[in-house]
Homo-oligomer: A and B are copies of this chain.
């Protein structure tokens, strides 16, 4: 939602809420509703502080309090980045929990003699620890599209909180609030077709994060009869997908994404397909970062598809390996590339007209440095071995701090119980494909009978389920 849209909805809201009450509210409110200057200089910050305090008060009743929250929301939207950062800083530092009240409650808790007074004291302490900003955040929900306003607010807050530790609690608290509203149990799984509203479909175009949607025709092709697209949607934000997945219904496990996305390819009868390939999963709301939907999404979609198309036997992804190239570059820097076989050496030496004394690192760096190496049959053939082994090694052995797989996409699917099934050489021939993954793609396979075991082995012991192809490549 652009600021313009938000502003228009806040205006609308104010009209709605005030409506008949206009006369009244004018007479009884004394708080400041002027527009602050965009970067919120000290004077205006002072006034906003008063406005925030007003919003926390119950003066005039709950309805009037919500009108004040709308005014405050409008002030926020009129600010530039600097102003918003200051606005949120003010909220975070001055409208947190009341330290004195916390200390007093702690005192009482320590004196509690019996279970009942302990309980009472804990209750009081819990209440004292609730930051005051929470009341204010919750008041925004009464606005039409107020939930979306908070989601967008958090999208802005996250980068600020990285710079400013004081904002971390506000961010954490807002995340909890959003996490409760966007609980998986409150979401609807919706199939999205070409019959969906254009206002919803344009968001798929905007939010697609894996393989950019180039045009409405490209989008239409992805919603064709042998494709499926599913999204989780919250009933209060019916036009906003939270996360969506694109699926191709094909025969056999796909090994190339350009073939999947080819608009010219004829569509086939989905009833004859034996494989459902998940080729793109995109989170659509930055403001919901850290609230997880993806694992539910894949499992629900598998269920839905199995029911609709009983012929489907294979459920797998066709996924990028987004961290591979950067990892490989780092290895090249430090000289730790996979060893070349003698025939690979020979081919590379010839292809690049280098001397026999060129190191493996030189040869690989050199090969990758050739513009369009993938279109050179000899070069491409010579690089295939080391790059595939390197990718298998990267996927299998590179770890994140918490112990899981270093590659983010790998970590996501392994956590869900999938296994690494097949590396696909030149599976993504787009510029981005080469930049991230040296043109490689991987299939993660969701085999129903193994999902729970895979999940536990991975989560508890860091063990990664893999096919023999990948295990073999990684070892060599």
Contact = CB atoms under 8 A, between A and B. Distances in A.
Interface of A: 16, 19-21, 23-25, 27-28, 58-64, 96-97, 99, 102, 106, 109-110, 116, 118-119, 122-123, 125-126, 129, 138, 140-143, 146-147, 165-166, 168-169, 172, 177, 180-181, 183-186, 194-199, 201-202, 216, 220, 235-236, 239, 292, 295-296, 299, 302-303, 306-307, 415-417, 448-453, 455-456, 459
Nearest to A115: B166
A24 B452 contact: yes
B125 A129 contact: yes
A138 to B, nearest CB: 6
Nearest to A183: B141
A302 B123 CA distance: 39
Nearest to A110: B106
A142 B142 CA distance: 24
Max chain B CB contacts within 10 Å: which of A25, A183, A453?
Answer: A183
B199 A197 contact: no
Q: How many copies does the complex hold?
A: 4
27 contacts: A20-B303, A20-B306, A24-B452, A28-B452, A60-B455, A60-B456, A61-B416, A64-B452, A102-B109, A102-B122, A116-B165, A122-B169, A129-B129, A138-B180, A141-B185, A142-B184, A142-B185, A142-B296, A146-B185, A181-B186, A185-B236, A194-B198, A194-B199, A195-B199, A195-B239, A196-B197, A198-B198
A118 B99 contact: yes
A60 B415 CA distance: 10
A111 to B, nearest CB: 12
A253 B126 CA distance: 48
A278 to B, nearest CB: 15
A59 B456 CA distance: 7
A116 to B, nearest CB: 6
B183 A142 contact: yes
A279 to B, nearest CB: 21
Given A122-B129, A452-B27, A181 B181 contact: yes
**A21, A126, A138 pick with most chain B CB within 10 angstroms:** A126
A416 B177 CA distance: 28
A312 to B, nearest CB: 11
Contact of A198 (B118, B140, B216): B216
Contacts of A292: 62
Contacts of A146: 185
Contacts of A216: 198, 202, 216
A59 B138 CA distance: 33
A271 B76 CA distance: 26
Contacts of A19: 303, 306-307
Given A197-B194, A451-B24, A172 B456 contact: no
**Chain B CB within 10 Å — which of A59, A194, A216 has the most?**
A216
B198 A60 contact: no
Contacts of A172: 123
Given A21-B299, A21-B451, 19 more contacts: A20-B302, A21-B452, A24-B450, A28-B452, A60-B452, A106-B110, A119-B165, A119-B168, A119-B169, A141-B185, A142-B184, A146-B185, A177-B180, A180-B181, A195-B239, A196-B197, A198-B201, A202-B220, A235-B236
Given A123-B169, A147-B186, A185-B147, A452 B61 contact: yes
Contacts of A307: 19
Contacts of A118: 99
Contacts of A141: 183-186
Contacts of A168: 119
Contact of A296 (B62, B185, B448): B62
Nearest to A97: B122
Contacts of A181: 180-181, 186
Nearest to A269: B8
A50 to B, nearest CB: 19
Contacts of A448: 20-21, 23-24
A165 B116 CA distance: 8
A193 to B, nearest CB: 8
Contacts of A306: 19-20
* The 9 nearest A-B residue pairs measured at CB: A141-B185, A235-B235, A142-B185, A24-B452, A195-B197, A28-B452, A126-B129, A61-B455, A19-B303
